[in-house]
């Protein structure tokens, strides 16, 4: 996913939803000092690790860490939302992540996600098409798909 989106204009305000310990969002912050990245996850221990990782990378000033169950504590809008969704949490959770994205994206903003073919990539793509004006498969490698959905 990072290889693919490193070539994409993501804007300056990015939400890493379901960030875990923060690898995606923190690398995106590290690659561009103009970016402000909000790292959001329901797992408090993971967020503690994400905070420590941000400090180690020297990007703490660019990062906001938010404890949130999907979008419940997210009040801002973003240029881009990135996610490696927690598939094991179930379709209800992951589809809530997709469904809430348009309300948290600026006009023209994008949801970028990675998903395995075996974990419902095709049904995910079809669902995204009901929510967004444009949905593209931008990468496919070793059973993984990267989708970009544009508001």
| 19-77 tens-digit pLDDT | 999 999 999 999 999 999 999 999 999 999 999 999 999 999 999 999 999 999 999 99
Exposure b/e, 136-148, CB count within 10 A at least 16 = b: eeeeeeeebbbbb
Query: What is the spatial distance between Cα 91 and Cα 107, in angstroms, rounded to a whole number?
Result: 26
**C-alpha count within 13 angstroms, C-beta hemisphere, residue 87:** 13
Query: What is the spatial distance between Cα 87 and Cα 118, in angstroms, rounded to a whole number?
Result: 11
| 105-138 tens-digit pLDDT | 999 999 999 999 988 899 999 999 999 999 999 9
- Domains within the chain, CATH numbers bracketed: 2-150 (3.40.50.150)
pTM: 0.95
Q: What angle do CA 9, 61, 3 make, to 5 degrees?
A: 30
């Amino acid at each position: 996913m990072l290889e693919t989106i490193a070539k994409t204009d993501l804007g300056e305000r990015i939400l890493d939803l379901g960030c875990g310990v923060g690898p995606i969002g923190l690398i995106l912050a590290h690659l561009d000092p103009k970016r402000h990245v909000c790292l959001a996850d329901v797992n408090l221990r993971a967020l503690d690790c994400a905070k420590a990782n941000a400090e180690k990378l020297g990007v703490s000033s660019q990062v906001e860490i938010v404890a949130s169950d999907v979008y419940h504590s997210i009040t801002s809008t973003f240029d881009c939302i990135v996610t490696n969704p927690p598939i094991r949490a179930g379709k209800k959770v992951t589809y809530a992540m997709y469904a809430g994205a348009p309300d948290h994206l600026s006009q023209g903003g994008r949801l970028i996600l990675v998903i395995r073919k075996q974990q419902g990539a095709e049904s995910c793509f079809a669902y995204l098409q009901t929510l967004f004006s444009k949905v593209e498969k931008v990468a496919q490698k070793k059973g993984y798909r990267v989708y970009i959905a544009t508001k």
